[in-house]
Amino acid sequence: MTKAIAPRSRKVRVLATLGPASNTPEMIAKLFEAGADAFRVNMSHGDQASKVGVIEAIRGLEKKYGRPTTILADLQGPKLRVGKFADGKVVLETDSTFILDRDKTPGDATRVELPHKEIFEAMEAGARLLLDDGKLVLRVLEHDDKRIVTNVEVGGPLSNNKGLNVPDVVVPMAALTEKDRSDLAFAVDQGVDWIALSFVQRPDDLWEARKLIGGKTALLAKIEKPAAIERLEEIVEACDGVMVARGDLGVELPPQTVPPLQKRIVETARRQGKPVVVATQMLESMIESPSPTRAEVSDVATAIYDGADAIMLSAESAAGKWPIESVAMMNAIGEAVESDPAHGDRIHFTVIRSDPTTADALSESAKNIARTIDAKAIVCFTSSGSTARRIARERPTVPIMVLTPKMETARRSGLLWGAYAVHTRDVESFEEMVAKAKRMVLRHHLAEAGDRVIVMAGVPFKTPGSTNVLHVVRIMGDELKGYS
């Protein structure tokens, strides 16, 4: 039996990561009711078999709530790690010499194996090597194809298989490992809506994933490497959406540089009309505490004021003690920020210049008309989702109802700012378009008698990319008579 649930009053989307604390059908439903609009399945943890039930549970929400669901599968990517130590752990002294080499012999306080030949090939004198999420800092003194000699600038304890970051050089590694290729094929076979690609450094990194996906799902690039910032415009252009992955970005760059970079990435994605997710440590303290710090709330609010499409919870909802409360807090922050009278002005600090196309001109006009006549919604008929993305880029003051005959388009819209997607049969004529738009806004409680809504579509109908109609209609209130 379908359980009615009203459309979200906020426009920013909440993306919740699932994990041991939240991967049962009951918990997933509770997260959805608390405010989760989309779900992240982290392929770094657990095996593929364990993900099948999770994906089925997310899809089960569609029948329970009568609404499309959105699933993002996040690939692990080429994580760099040092080898093992003879005693499992050593302490590197500041100003000592430490060597990374190709020798598989267990390491000690003077050396350890680095099982990534690509790093030796790309290394440069003076480059930094960061160990254990940046806790230890090494500076390269000399190098060849078998060893890298470094000076320990910041020492400390180091144990087996700790992570390594190389912020100062572009490492010529494939963006997809064998595990990633297997996980990607699995995710596509399971019908997920988005694939997130980790550690993207250049546009080329997206090509193999594109080919393997074969158009069956959308591709999201995680921006977490300094090299990606240098080619940000090209990377955003080559993908369907981006994520500001502040974890590794904050390790490889000074932490004070991350806030302006976050704004730059959000702005770039918005200008290109691509959904952008802000992620990592947003409500970190709620892993253990039932309430966040004031600074964390301010951080989440800043991302919303910047105009991000979605804000993401990681361990807070996946493995924390308070997953439902974390989602509810994200929902509450979104509602509070968007009720601020200054919110509309702040999210338009980013200047969006429309492309010289009919669809862009109409999208900008729809935003302006909605504000001028106090319309209650913008209804767009779309097959590919392109019209919805163009409207969302403008950040209108009203909800965007996305009516589409393609379930995959409806599902992908879950990361799109202000979008409320409905999977429905396509229309055949202008009259049918108007009548259906009226019925849908009434049925889904986006408007009522006397309200005006804006309708956008393309004529001839069923022709992707042909958006050329903008029509303002008034709701009479009796449009549902004769319809169940």
Catalytically annotated residues:
40, 81, 222, 280
Pseudo-torsion of CA 145, 147, 150, 156, nearest 10°?
Answer: 130
Distance of CA 316 to the CA centre of its chain: 16
Where b means 16+ CB within 10 Å and e means fewer, 380-399 reads bbbbebbbbbbbbbbbbbbb
Q: Regarding beta strands 136-143 and 147-154, do their DSSP bridges make them parallel or antiparallel, or are they unpaired?
A: antiparallel
Which helix or strand (DSSP H or E) is residue 420 part of? strand 419-423
How far is Cα 188 from Cα 202, in angstroms, rounded to an integer?
23
Question: Which of 118, 171, 110 has its CA nearest to residue 138?
Answer: 110
Pseudo-torsion of CA 303, 332, 62, 477, nearest 10°?
Answer: -110
Contact 412, 435 (CB under 8 A): no
3-state SS class at 36: coil
Contact 365, 375 (CB under 8 A): no
List CB contacts of 413: < 8 A, sequence separation 6 or more: 68, 70, 385, 388, 402, 404, 419, 421
List CB contacts of 220: < 8 A, sequence separation 6 or more: 72, 194, 195, 196, 197, 239, 240, 241, 242, 243, 275, 277, 415
Contact 129, 147 (CB under 8 A): no
Q: Please, is 104 exposed, middle or buried when counting C-beta atoms within 10 Å of its C-beta (0-12, 13-18, 19+)?
A: exposed
- Where helices occur in 66-167 by DSSP H, the ranges are 117-122
**Mutual orientation of helices 294-305 and 323-338 as an angle, nearest 10°?**
50
Residue written as token pair 């001028």? 372
